[in-house]
Chains A and B, each alone.
Chain A
């Protein structure tokens, strides 16, 4: 038995029939072919599948696709502008904030919401936020540095805009 849902993903409307047991993560990857959202543990621990729901980070594996009916989702594919990289992606690239990259899309989505709320976070706040994202390459030092660099870049572009 399927249900038809209509939702907005990265600014684009989609209408699909889904099984109730399909998670939002599987729906994004398999139905919409947006494979930037990674699936790790499938029970909310690893953070790889983190996406934005109405601008707030959520685990896409802990939400059913049917629950996303009429909601607005942003995935890592929606983070970058049409050309180039988002400043957070730039910072991760410049500071070696990723190794295998499996955990990266989830971290990028969490960081985008985190820096909106805390434009100038402390080291400790960054580490507390990152505790919700498992990096098995354990490159956490560079990830923290990348987030600090991203915060600086976003603050200076905000002050440029006045």
Chain B
């Protein structure tokens, strides 16, 4: 299908973009990479009256790295981050390779993917696992929304219709922390049926000091495996404890039945992937991320 008619503006400043969004009373959408929005328009799942194209706004295309955070501007394409990650972060490199296909990643932005809030998408779960946040600019100024406060429902975040997400910030795993990532999909690049990402840090040979687990494709939003985190933190990461944590996290999920998989199947796969990613994270503890 073809998109329904809309007006289009391509402002040169962030203030003008916010003004254009605010002036449309909730019927405007931000256009950055367009790889999620344009399908929604073509299928007429979304019918905005105005698109505010932010691609001509300067200063939104930076990848800023500090010792403990990675901040990514709203116009950084997934492919840009993938290229950056090739020599810098095996975790980001692996996750990005699973986001759709190269022609999509050439246009799709990291920020757009995070705030599109598809529950089966990889980067929102990574944002949760890395204690990330979204920085948004609205008529009232700038605010930071923690990943835990961001996801409300499928394709729905706590950002307002007149706010522009200008960047995402990931807290990088502490030195010596390990990570794991796995997903099950029918074909490479498809949305995952279920996926998980885990980060573990431990005292040398001792108990877990920090555990993060997040699932995607396992409910209406990306979901933290909080039960697993509680079971692991402060305890020795024995194989039995990892398995117990993985099961507890999967039991707490509320996945959906759909044409691709049943809820019971998803919960079972989630438990397996949780255990695998936690084990992978543990195996990487102490080595360079």
Contacts and interface: CB of A to CB of B under 8 A. Distances in A.
Contacts of B38: 23, 43-44, 61-64
A39 B210 CA distance: 49
Contacts of A113: 102
Contacts of A47: 101, 103
Interface string A33-55: 00000000011100100100100
A62 B6 contact: no
Interface string A109-139: 0100110000000000001110110000000
A101 to B, nearest CB: 19
A21 B31 CA distance: 12
Given A21-B2, A26-B2, A44-B38, A132 B8 contact: no
Interface in B1-21: 1-8, 10
B118 to A, nearest CB: 13
B103 A131 contact: no
Contact of B43 (A19, A43, A50): A43
A10 to B, nearest CB: 18
B102 A42 contact: no
Contacts of A1: 7
Given A20-B6, A21-B6, A63-B107, A132 B42 contact: no
B286 interface: no
B104 interface: yes
Contacts of B7: 1, 20
Interface in B26-56: 31, 34-35, 38-39, 41-43, 51, 53, 55
Given A47-B101, A128-B188, A62 B39 contact: yes
A43 B1 CA distance: 8
Interface residues of B, number: 33
B104 A132 contact: yes
A151 interface: no
Contact of B102 (A44, A66, A67, A129): A129
Given A44-B39, A62-B39, A63-B34, A110 B103 contact: yes
B100 interface: yes
A14 interface: no
A58 B103 contact: yes
B278 to A, nearest CB: 26
A43 B10 CA distance: 23
B34 A64 contact: yes
B104 A44 contact: yes
B187 interface: yes
Contact of B4 (A21, A26, A44, A61): A21
Interface of B: 1-8, 10, 31, 34-35, 38-39, 41-43, 51, 53, 55, 79, 97, 100-104, 106-107, 187-190
Given A1-B7, A56-B79, 15 more contacts: A20-B7, A21-B5, A23-B42, A43-B39, A58-B103, A59-B103, A61-B42, A62-B107, A63-B107, A64-B8, A64-B34, A128-B97, A128-B189, A132-B100, A132-B102
Interface of A: 1, 3, 19-21, 23, 26, 42-44, 47, 50, 53, 56-59, 61-64, 66-67, 110, 113-114, 127-129, 131-132
23 contacts: A21-B4, A21-B5, A21-B41, A26-B2, A42-B1, A42-B42, A43-B39, A44-B39, A47-B103, A56-B103, A61-B38, A62-B38, A62-B104, A63-B38, A66-B8, A66-B10, A127-B188, A128-B97, A131-B101, A131-B188, A132-B102, A132-B104, A132-B189
